[in-house]
Structure 1
Amino acid sequence: MKKIVSSAATLMWFCLMVARPVLAAPEASVAPLRSEPLPEYPGKEVQMIVVEYPPGSVDPVHRHDAHAFVYVLEGSIVMGLKGGKEVTLKAGDTFHEGPNDIHTVGRNASSTQPAKFVVFLLKNKGAPILTPVK
């Protein structure tokens, strides 16, 4: 009986180790901070959000259809736009995406430490924060 239990435990461990790379990366959490219409610019608004990347978090390819200004609060993140180079940002660093940019790389630079950043978006009123790109 001990041999059967030991064999079953070994098989379970093996299956978990093989399946590990297939598991999805942890998702980022997004918390709204503030949203304000801009009466001086009809149809436009500002939205501020805080994004938290757990260790190993990776964003899908997307666009913002907005000017997005990033300020890293803690940890480090990797950002990249279509046609540009990837950059690694640490606490205190900034990043900008324009309304026509495609965000091809957005991830936590660490597999062990979380990262947190603020995003200030200047966008069309009521438009989504993020639009996936295939």
Structure 2
Amino acid sequence: MTTNASRLSTLLFVCAATLGFANGAPAHDGGEEKVQPLMKQAISDAPGKNVMMATVTLAPGQSAAPHLHPGSIFAYVLEGSVVSQLEGDPPHTYTQGESWYEAPRVHHLVTRNASTTRSARLLVWAIVGDKEPIKLPLPPASSSDARLPSISSP
């Protein structure tokens, strides 16, 4: 029988591992944003899917590496301002109280704290598969990709 405390510690470990982030440190030190997992819950009407919630803190001037998310992401700015850019869109600065949505597998090119003097903090709500990480690095661009013909529908 599993206790609530052991389930919580397992949940926090799994969330931290699947978030794919290291402990927070300023960007100039090469660290990743700080992620604090809050919960993970299976969705009963969507078998194989889970909802995850976490806070993400960006130190002053810190940026996250370009990435994508296998599932849907909803982000809400709790404190500060964050510059975000999804592939195909211009960069947008979101301030406290604003939110945005990221569709699955869309390349998230820019995530940056807009301030060099204040931290920024987000509440992130994600829908992920049972065995999927919440965040993946962007695949490296291949020079052979430029030689591939584009395929368009008639």
TM-score range, shorter chain: 0.7 to 0.9
Residue of structure 1 in register with 2:124 after alignment? 119
Q: Which has the larger radius of gyration?
A: 1
Secondary structure of 1:66's match? coil
Residue of structure 1 in register with 2:91 after alignment? 86
Residue of structure 2 in register with 1:108 after alignment? 113
Could you tell me the percent identity over the aligned residues? 36
Q: Which aligned pairs between 1:35-46 and structure 2 lie closer than 5 A?
A: 35-46=40-51
Deviations 1:90-123 (A, max 9, x none): 0000011000211000010011110001000011
Aligned CA-pair RMSD: 1.2
Residue of structure 1 in register with 2:70 after alignment? 65
**Is the CA contact 1:27–1:54 (under 8 Å) kept in the aligned structure 2?**
no
Structure 2: unaligned runs, 5 residues or longer:
1-27, 141-154
Q: TM-score when scaled to structure 1?
A: 0.80
Output the CA distance in 1 between the equivalents of 2:129 and 2:75. 18
Residue of structure 1 in register with 2:52 after alignment? 47
Output the CA distance in 1 between the equivalents of 2:31 and 2:42. 33
Q: Which aligned pairs between 1:6-45 and structure 2 lie closer than 5 A?
A: 23-45=28-50
Secondary structure of 2:35's match? strand
Q: TM-score when scaled to structure 2?
A: 0.70
**Is the CA contact 1:67–1:96 (under 8 Å) kept in the aligned structure 2?**
yes
Letter in 1 for 2:108: H
Q: Which has the higher contact order (CA 8 A, sep 6+)?
A: 1
Structure 1: unaligned runs, 5 residues or longer:
1-22
Output the CA distance in 2 between the equivalents of 1:112 and 1:25. 18
Aligned residues: 112
